[in-house]
Amino acid sequence: MEGARRTSIRGSLLMARLVLSSPTGFAGAVIVAGLLILSLIGPVLAPYDPYKQDMSERLMPPSWEHPFGTDQLGRDILSRVLYGCRISLSIALLVVAISATIGLLLGLVSGYFGGLVDEALMRVTDLFFAFPRLILAMAVAAALGPSIINTMLAIATVSWPVYARLVRACVLQVRNETYIEAARAIGAGHVRILFRHVLPMVVHVVLVQATLDLGSIILLAAGLSFIGLGAPPPTPEWGLMVSEGRLYIRSQWWVSTFPGLAIMISALGFNMLGDALRDAFDVRLGR
Amino acid sequence: MARELVRVEELRKYFPVRGGVFHRVVGYVKAVDGVSFRIEEGTTFGLVGESGCGKTTLVRTILRLIEPTAGRVIFDGVDITALRAGELRRMRRHMQIVFQDPYTSLHPRMQVSEIVAEPLRIHFGVGGEEARGEVLRVLREVGLGEEHLDRYPHELSGGQRQRVAIARALILRPKFLVLDEPTSALDVSVQAKILRLLKELQSRYGLTYLFVSHNILVIEYMSDYVGVMYLGKLVEVAPKDELFKNPLHPYTMALLSAVPIPDPRARSRKRIILKGEVPSPLNPPSGCRFHPRCPWASEECRSYEPELVEVGGEHYVACHRWEEIPRVNTYMARR
């Protein structure tokens, strides 16, 4: 209905204003917006073909021709970083979409029905939490073999338990509310209660966690590529580029530094935006 | 003789209490402990009792929002305690509830139009524009209008929210409506309006009410029959006028004598001041549950639990000594 649209637009505007009014939120939003734009038009901006090798131009320091310098195969680093933006961002977004959806569904079921289902699911998540995320992702990635798809699968496999836990905790609170009992009293079934009544009350925690997670997934993907379990060469993946430049780090610092900075800035951007988003939700929900 | 719509038979709800290292059941809170009564079609059964006596648990168990431990609830000839989940959901359109606190009983992220239309969507699969006419009709009936359709609960006052809750309960045209302290979260002036609205709706649609309150004045205004509850049990049930004129159970007398009378000359009236606190339902007293606080308790009261027996004219009381003890009633004197 007309009014619903009006109110949800008003709500989103309020959220946007809250996020942008904090300095970190503003910086995060600018960085994330920049990353999104670069991942869309990066290939257009790139001055060179990121795969084109030129051994006569190898390991050139930053100059007007090559603002970020060239790598050991004479490829333009700026172009590679720009192309890499799309790769890193699509990995991060896809992984978050998959793991948040899985975690959300399992968390909803676990928290709402409780009992044996809950016990079983929570013990599985305990299993995942018992290992560091990177180690577990390494194991999965090593088993699957290096490719971008496998990197995503590996990271998604280790990322969903956080969402499941978070959502479950939230559902435990919500399911005892009177409005849930009221829904039962009018004859609503479990599916309807879960998706129409419980879900709207937990979706914001998923949103905040997903934003924060985007940063750490970019790091994780870069980490996997760095140790050779992620994207295979010659993919212009940031982690892989850092790894390839590590032999030259003493004399040709730019080979690793620029992709490293890209990783750092994007992880930072998502974290700052996520933090501000959480604060904004807290304000809006009156906590 | 009016038709019986609801019959509650020996209903019980025990909540297990767990404790210790192994999380074992160490006892039960007997929130509802063998309650029986019946409600005739088109009448209001008022349920009164102190906070914590099990009123809310009782009505939720009657609607099977909480599963009963034992006992039966016969609604319109159907034993709803024996229904399967799907059958029970379909049955719910005939029996609705209005909760105490309208600040928590409406979904904070749903608009009034969605809240009120949801029962229609669930039971008849109609929603959106199709349901709009019906939603508007029922909203007008409870004193709201078109301008409230797009509001969210937080944009409404307490009284308006309770009207929305009533509209949600009424849209399916149920036969039976449970009102669980529907006015105790509201301002006094708003209370009166809501109570009047409920009476009006009842006479217009021939609704049957189960009205819960801790406020004896509200109960008197609303009810045809009154049940007095103490620690999970009914101690006295009677037609309203009979109960207020001729209370027989000492607890009922105490409740009635606690009602403030706006007349300074009545200060010297005799009142029954109960000793002590309500005992824990985890460990109820032996015999009559009321005996530790009863001024007339005898040896018999300490050892045997009294049954709820009819003492004439639909008047039931659960007391060994109802014939011997003095009749104290200062309540009707205020008229």
Preferred mutation among B61, B105, B111, B130 to probe A, highest tally of A CBs within 10 A? B105
A184 contacts in B (CB within 8 Å)?
Answer: 65
pTM: 0.85
pLDDT value of residue A3: 46
Query: Nearest CA to B73 among B104, B124, B38?
Result: B38
Percent of chain B at pLDDT > 70 equals: 95
State yes or no: cis peptide before A234, omega within 30 of 0. yes
Query: Do the domain assignments include residue A134?
Result: yes
| Lowest-pLDDT choice from A47-51, B43-47, B79-83, B209-213 | A47-51
What integer pLDDT is reported at residue A8 of this predicted model? 63
Q: Is B135 on the interface with A (CB under 8 A)?
A: no
Domain membership flag for residue B246: yes
User: Which pLDDT belongs to residue B211?
Assistant: 95
Cβ–Cβ of B168/A3 closer than 8 Å? no
Each residue of A208-239: pLDDT tens digit? Answer: 999 989 988 988 888 888 888 888 888 899 98
CA distance readout (Å), B286 to A4, A17, B304, B305: 58, 63, 7, 7
Cα(A36)–Cα(A117) distance, integer angstroms: 39
Query: Could you tell me if A10 lies within 8 Å of chain B, comparing CB atoms?
Result: no
Q: Per residue in A151-199, pLDDT tens?
A: 999 999 999 999 999 999 999 999 999 999 999 999 999 999 999 999 9
Whether B44 is covered by a domain: the verdict is: no
User: Residue B166 has what pLDDT?
Assistant: 95
ipTM: 0.88
- Asked whether residue A192 is domain-assigned, the answer is yes
Q: Does B119 touch chain A (CB under 8 A)?
A: yes
Q: What backbone phi and psi angles, to 5 degrees, belong to A228?
A: 85, 15
- In a 3-state reduction of DSSP, which class is residue A280? helix
Tokens of A125: 């998540």
Residues of B in contact with A182 (CB under 8 A): 97, 99, 105-107, 165, 168
Q: How high is the pLDDT of residue B300?
A: 86
Q: Using a CB–CB cutoff of 8 Å, tell me whether A285 touches chain B.
A: no
Nearest to A166 by CA among A111, A97, A120: A111
Per-residue pLDDT, averaged over A260-281, amounts to 91
Q: Quick one: closest CA in A to B62, which residue?
A: A185
| Interchain proximity A185–B96, CB inside 8 Å | yes
| Beta carbons of B33 and B232 less than 8 angstroms apart | yes
A192 contacts B122? CB cut-off 8 A: yes
3 state DSSP class of B34: strand
Question: Is A201 at the interface with chain B, CB within 8 A?
Answer: yes
**Is B137 within the bounds of a domain?**
no
Asked if A178 has any chain B CB less than 8 Å from its own CB, the reply is: yes
Q: Could you tell me which residue, B286 or B14, shows the higher pLDDT?
A: B14
Q: Is residue A58 part of a domain?
A: no
Report the domain count for chain B. Answer: 1
* pLDDT band with cut points at 50, 70 and 90 for residue B335: very low
- The reply to whether A60 falls in a domain is no
Per the domain annotation, does A51 fall within a domain? no
CA A281 – CA A276 distance, rounded (Å): 9
- Structural domain contains residue B294: yes
Q: What chain A residue is nearest to B61 in terms of C-alpha separation?
A: A185
Are the beta carbons of A6 and B150 separated by less than 8 Å?
yes
In a domain, A159, yes or no: yes
Residue B46: per-residue pLDDT: 95
d(CA B300, CA B321): 9
- The residue among A14 and B182 whose pLDDT is bigger is B182
Question: A with B: how many residue pairs have Cβ under 8 Å apart?
Answer: 71
Is residue B259 within 8 angstroms of chain A, CB to CB? no
Whether the CA torsion A232, A237, A242, A245 is positive or negative: it is positive
Domain assignment present for residue A34? The answer is: yes
Nearest by CB to residue A186, choosing from B60, B108, B122, is B122
* CA distance readout (Å), B166 to A5, A178, B85, B90, B94: 26, 15, 25, 19, 14
A6 touches chain B (CB under 8 A): yes
Would you state the pLDDT for residue B259? 78
Chain A contact for B183 (CB, 8 A cutoff): no
Report CB contact under 8 Å: B89, A178. no
Q: Who has greater pLDDT, A277 or B21?
A: A277
Identify which of B65, B90, B113 has the shortest CB distance to residue A181: B65
Q: How far is A192 from chain B (nearest CA, A)?
A: 9
Residue B59 domain-assigned? no
Q: Are B92 and A186 inside 8 Å of each other by CB?
A: yes
Secondary structure letter of residue B283 according to DSSP? S
Judged by DSSP in three states, B326 sits in coil
Is the predicted pLDDT of residue B295 greater than 50, yes or no? yes
Distance CA B119, CA B121 (A): 5
Q: Which domain holds residue A264?
A: 2-43+70-284
**Calpha distance A255→A249 (Å, rounded):** 7
Please state, as a whole number, how many other Cβ atoms lie within 10 Å of the Cβ of residue B326.
Answer: 10
Is residue B83 pLDDT above 70, yes or no?
yes
Residue B279 is assigned to a structural domain of this protein: yes
Question: Residue A65: its pLDDT value, please?
Answer: 86
Give the pLDDT confidence of B243-279 residue by residue, as tens digits: 988 899 999 988 888 877 676 666 666 677 777 777 7
Mean pLDDT of B106-119: 92
pLDDT at A188: 92
| pLDDT tens digits, one per residue of B194-247 | 999 999 999 999 999 999 998 888 999 999 999 999 998 999 999 999 998 889
Q: What is the DSSP letter of B28?
A: E
Q: Is residue B19 in a domain?
A: no
Distance from the B90 Cα atom to the nearest Cα atom in chain A, whole angstroms:
7
Q: CA-CA distance, B119 to A214, in Å (whole number)?
A: 40
The whole domain housing B328 covers 236-311+318-335
- Best mutation target, A178, A192, A284, A287, to test chain B (most B CBs within 10 A): A178
Residue A2 confidence (pLDDT) above 50: no
CATH number at residue A6: 1.10.3720.10
Q: What is the mean pLDDT of residues B286-315?
A: 87
* Residue B151 domain-assigned (yes or no): no
B19-71 residue pLDDT tens: 777 788 888 888 898 899 999 999 999 999 888 888 999 999 999 999 999 99
pLDDT on residue A5:
52
pLDDT at B127 over 80: no
Which residues does A165 contact at the CB level (< 8 Å), separation at least 6?
A: A103, A107, A122, A125
For A5, which residue in chain B has the nearest alpha carbon? Answer: B150
Q: pLDDT-based confidence at B334, cuts 50/70/90?
A: low
CA distance B322 to chain A (A): 39
Give the range with max mean pLDDT: A112-116, B21-25, B123-127. A112-116
Under 8 Å between Cβ of B101 and B185: yes
Q: Would the CB atoms of B150 and A4 count as touching at under 8 Å?
A: yes
Q: What is the mean pLDDT of residues B132-149?
A: 91
Phi, psi values for residue A129, rounded to 5°: -75, -15
CA nearest to B111 within chain A: A4
Average per-residue pLDDT in chain B? 88
pLDDT at residue B54, as a whole number? 87
> Alpha-carbon distance A225 to A219, whole Å?
10
Considering its fold, how many domains does chain A have in total? Answer: 1
